[in-house]
Amino acid sequence: MASKIPRALRELALATKGFMPPDEGDALFDAASEACRAKPGLPLVEIGTYCGRSTVWLGAAAKKNNSVLFSVDHHFGSEENQRGWPWHDDSLVDAQTQKLNTLPEFLRTLRQSALGDAVVPVVSDSGLFGGQFSTPLAFLFIDGGHGDTPTRRDYQTWTPKIAVGGYLAIHDVFADPKDGGQAPHDFIYRPALDSGLFTQVSAAGSLRVLRRRSADHPSSSSS
């Protein structure tokens, strides 16, 4: 039976600026909790923090299961968060630099959640940090930049770090271009399935959850 995020934390998540619908957030919490149980002692990684909405769901799962979440974001906003795009929020623009800066809002969310003992904020480009991160993962959530280049990079950098039996969650997966951008679908979701290394275990809205079933591509293994 799926566990539930504490009510106060769920309310905080829903009050936090972000783009994660309630049903997808609950599904994210469930998947992360299952990953923690399946691979105890291994950490979780979130690519794309924004103001911490999804971090609350993931951090709650990590804390409940005695794990730790690394939440990675440079906090300058993705391309789609900049001025001129529908997903721009002018309240997140730094008054001095006149550039987007989501870090103060994220740190405020982290303080309010009291999840500081389970969440490690990483202020970095995901590719740069990923190049230095070698610990196998129980769970990886990719929700960073949604352009072709960042999605390709996040897939190539981070998915090899998922332990066998670990989980990969991908946000904003749209099979139909009429529903949304195609990069997470084309450059993360489809490559993961087509590799033969992952199998889908659940879906909620635009969230897809896959599980790593082997260490090597089936075609590369010897008989």
Mean pLDDT, rounded, for 62-75: 97
Strand runs labelled E in the chain: 44-47, 69-73, 119-123, 137-142, 162-170, 198-204, 207-212
Q: What pLDDT digit, counting tens, does each position of 74-105 carry?
A: 998 776 766 765 667 777 787 788 888 999 99
If you average pLDDT over every residue of the chain, what do you get? 91
- Residue 89 CA to chain centroid, in angstroms? 20
Q: List, in order of start, the domains of the chain with CATH numbers.
A: 7-218 (3.40.50.150)
Determine phi and psi for 121, rounding to 5 degrees.
Answer: -70, 130
Mean pLDDT, rounded, for 44-64: 97
145's enclosing H/E stretch is none
HSE on the CB side for 94, CA within 13 Å? 11
Which of 9-23, 36-50, 76-90 has the least mean pLDDT?
Answer: 76-90
CA 205 – CA 183 distance, rounded (Å)? 17
CA 77 – CA 147 distance, rounded (Å)? 12
- What's the pLDDT at 85? 59
Mean pLDDT, rounded, for 137-144: 97
Whole-model pTM? 0.91
pLDDT of 219 over the 50 cut:
no
Listing DSSP states for 13-70 in one string gives HHHSSSS--HHHHHHHHHHHHHHHHHSTT--EEEE--TTSHHHHHHHHHHHHTT--EE
- What's the pLDDT at 50? 94
pLDDT of 216 over the 90 cut:
no
Mean pLDDT, rounded, for 153-170: 98
- What's the pLDDT at 46? 98
**Catalytic entry in 74, 75, 88, 146:** 146
Which of 121-125, 170-174, 195-199, 216-220 has the least mean pLDDT?
Answer: 216-220
Catalytic residue check, 75? no
pLDDT of 117 over the 90 cut:
yes
Kindly give the pairing relationship between strand 137-142 and strand 119-123: unpaired
N-to-C CA span, the chain: 38
pLDDT of 8 over the 50 cut:
yes
Crossing angle between the packed helical segments 22-38 and 53-64, to the nearest 10 degrees: 30
Other residues' Cβ atoms within 10 Å of the Cβ of residue 162: 25
Q: What pLDDT digit, counting tens, does each position of 166-208 carry?
A: 999 999 999 888 888 899 999 999 999 999 999 999 999 999 9
CA 9 – CA 85 distance, rounded (Å)? 30
